Structure 1
Amino acid sequence: MDIGIEDIVFTVNYGDEEIDLTGQVFRPRNFEEKSNLPPIVFNSGFAGGVSMYGQLFGRALAERGYCVMTYDVAGFYTNKHARNIVQQGNLTLTNVSLEDQKDEVLGAIAWTQKAFGRMPAVVSWAMGGTASLAAIAQLARAGGPQVAFYAPLNYTRISSLQNLRADKAAAHASLMALADDDAIPPFDTGTQKTRLGFYPLDTDTQAYVDEQLGAYTEAASVERWPGCSHMTASSYKDYVAFDPEAGLNGSAGFPPALIVHGADNTLHLPEEAVHLHGVYPGDATDGPYIIGGMAHGQQNQPDNAIFRQMIDQIDRNIATRAV
């Protein structure tokens, strides 16, 4: 199918300021405005967005007839200098705020609703699912329009992710003792030098991410993945305190959902999908959709059969269950 790509600008209200971010819309060129398919907002993890998996999912879902809006989070790639950058002499530090990323999801939803005349479905990759879950919970508490569908892919609780560290208690104590603007590595790869890294990576994930995600960012003509050399210590402090599940109780009006996870995921473990299914207040089918042979992002390639299987399920569920 012939896919068109449109550059767009959308506004995000961060509470302390409003900022315009850039994004892209992927759509079939023969898209019918009267299509019964909702548009989709796709968001990704802490360094994710259109310059990484956004372009992959955007094209794959546009091939199924959807209009897909996606974007880079503030502080990375095409939105690198919009917000969340701290300069310390010659050193550039990136600050990651999941609260900010929740606000970005809400801004993307609002832009997409206005652009297409209806509330979108939200499809979220990995840690992006924590930000979108918080956004959906905020919409539920507000009692207004809700998104049409929710599909978190390889979701994890931030607290569970810390179990990958060699000594999570010692790392946590050391990180919490740092000043907020102290520099830390982007990743904890299990070495003494990286033990205070923001995001722990297991061995299997380390083996593929640099080559695969580096290829995506190079194709997008942006700074090579991960898009930062150092992060602020406050990034760690903020994300371990961020709990989107705390907002799930006491509200109604959550959208139907499909919780998707890789059976062989050694970074975000499959039991995280089982947990989310147990606490999600909306209709999430009889259980999470666990895909055999799927790890974390290793299968995220356009012609990979497991990736196509995942896209098939997302398409089928949105087409038949979206509100």
Structure 2
Amino acid sequence: MTEVVQEDFTFPVTYADGTIELRGRVFRPARLSEEAKALPPVVFNSGFTGGVSMYGQLFGNALAQRGYSVTTYDVSGFFTNKGARNTYKSGDLTITNVSLEDQKIELLALVAWTKNRFGAMPAVASWAMGSVASLAAVLDLARAGGEQISYFVPMCYTRLSALQNLRADAVAAHVAIAGLADDAPIPPFDTGTEATKLGYYPLDPATQAYVDEQLGNYTEAGGVDRWPGCSHVSAKSYKSSVNFDPEADLSAVSGRFPPALIVHGADNTLHMPSESVRLHKVYPGEKGESALLVAGMEHGQQLMADHVIFKSLIDNIDHGIRAHCA
């Protein structure tokens, strides 16, 4: 088995209101074969919380064993970057503002850092809501008309508006949250239908138990906070994320889009496969004949290094990158 080296680093991110340093991590093979030298690096972007403390370590190790150098990070406000940005105090509460716009900016900064470190534009692999932020980053690069990422792998993509509509009383919940002040914490509410058991954050005990099952061993990964890494999120988090929809702008941008492998678990009940099927239809870049719906794959239960479904997923990502980039 290939020896994998892990390295911590920091990278600068420039937001509209200033520049800060975020922490990241590299997973890379200790020795590069001649074949591996032709591979692009990979940036992994995981959910709305990040990669170092969640799935990034799993994908980082697996892809590094295939010869890739992989960078990942925790989104600002979470885990290793919890104190960097997007948290504030309200009385005794620590409230987190979840910003997909910030995550897009952070991802573009990590793409630039990765290119500078490894000498080539990376592929980007993303998970869940991170795939929405990654799609927005791809769209910004297409608009700019400069260099584009080399390959795009959105996994379990879904728009937050679709997640919202899974809830037992989506209309009432939406109206209630929209009526809150932006900086107000969202109180717990319904956990959705028996089929989905989905709510927004903070997670009540029933929903937390369901998410723990969905995420398997990664609810307490990285030796830091238990996932989701926050106890209260702002109403602004919900309002802004519901309206964050880069998919709606795809047809209006004529720039270059990278080839893509659009992946979804066929048995995912948190992020519905129909979301990736729709994205496949409208994505303007090369994308194969259909979205890859992985049989037997749910949201996170099969994401274990020795699981046959996870190994198959890595095989497909590796094959796609090599076919288009190596």
TM range (shorter): over 0.9
- Residue matched to 1:30: 31
SS in 2 for 1:220: helix
State the Cα distance separating 1:162 from its structure 2 match: 1.2
SS in 1 for 2:53: helix
Q: TM-score, normalised by structure 2?
A: 0.92
SS in 2 for 1:6: strand
State the Cα distance separating 1:152 from its structure 2 match: 0.3
- Residue matched to 1:69: 71
**How far, CA to CA, are the matches of 1:195 and 1:219 in structure 2?**
22
- Residue matched to 1:9: 10
**How far, CA to CA, are the matches of 2:246 and 2:203 in structure 1?**
20
Q: Which amino acid aligns with 2:110?
A: A
State the Cα distance separating 1:32 from its structure 2 match: 4.9
Which shows bigger deviation, 38-47 or 69-78? 38-47
**How far, CA to CA, are the matches of 2:117 and 2:275 in structure 1?**
34
**How far, CA to CA, are the matches of 1:211 and 1:264 in structure 2?**
14
**Number of corresponding residues:** 319
Q: Which amino acid aligns with 1:107?
A: A
Distance 1:269 1:200, change over 3 A: farther
Distance 1:236 1:93, change over 3 A: same
Residue pair 2:202, 2:231 contacting (<8 A) in 1 also: no
**How far, CA to CA, are the matches of 1:79 and 1:186 in structure 2?**
25
Q: TM-score, normalised by structure 1?
A: 0.93
**How far, CA to CA, are the matches of 1:32 and 1:271 in structure 2?**
39
Q: Which amino acid aligns with 2:51?
A: G
Gap regions ≥5 residues in structure 2: none
Distance 1:212 1:245, change over 3 A: closer
State the Cα distance separating 1:217 from its structure 2 match: 5.7
SS in 2 for 1:12: strand
**How far, CA to CA, are the matches of 1:99 and 1:118 in structure 2?**
25
State the Cα distance separating 1:184 from its structure 2 match: 1.3
State the Cα distance separating 1:281 from its structure 2 match: 0.6
Q: Which amino acid aligns with 1:173?
A: V
**How far, CA to CA, are the matches of 2:170 and 2:158 in structure 1?**
17
Output aligned runs, 1:1-323, within 5 Å: 1-32=2-33, 35-185=37-187, 189-190=191-192, 197-198=200-201, 209-210=211-212, 213=215, 215-216=217-218, 218-249=220-251, 250-322=253-325
**How far, CA to CA, are the matches of 1:215 and 1:49 in structure 2?**
14
Q: Which amino acid aligns with 2:105?
A: D
Gap regions ≥5 residues in structure 1: none
What CA deviation, in whole Å up to 9, does each residue of 1:143-191 have, x standing for no partner? Answer: 0000000000010122211121111111111100000111115885249
What CA deviation, in whole Å up to 9, does each residue of 1:184-210 have, x standing for no partner? Answer: 15885249xx99734899x8x865532
Residue pair 1:26, 1:67 contacting (<8 A) in 2 also: yes
Distance 1:155 1:226, change over 3 A: same
Q: Which amino acid aligns with 1:25?
A: V
State the Cα distance separating 1:16 from its structure 2 match: 1.6
Identity of aligned residues (%): 60
SS in 1 for 2:23: strand
State the Cα distance separating 1:47 from its structure 2 match: 2.2
SS in 1 for 2:112: helix
Which shows bigger deviation, 243-252 or 103-112? 243-252
Residue pair 1:182, 1:233 contacting (<8 A) in 2 also: yes
SS in 2 for 1:65: coil
Distance 1:306 1:80, change over 3 A: same
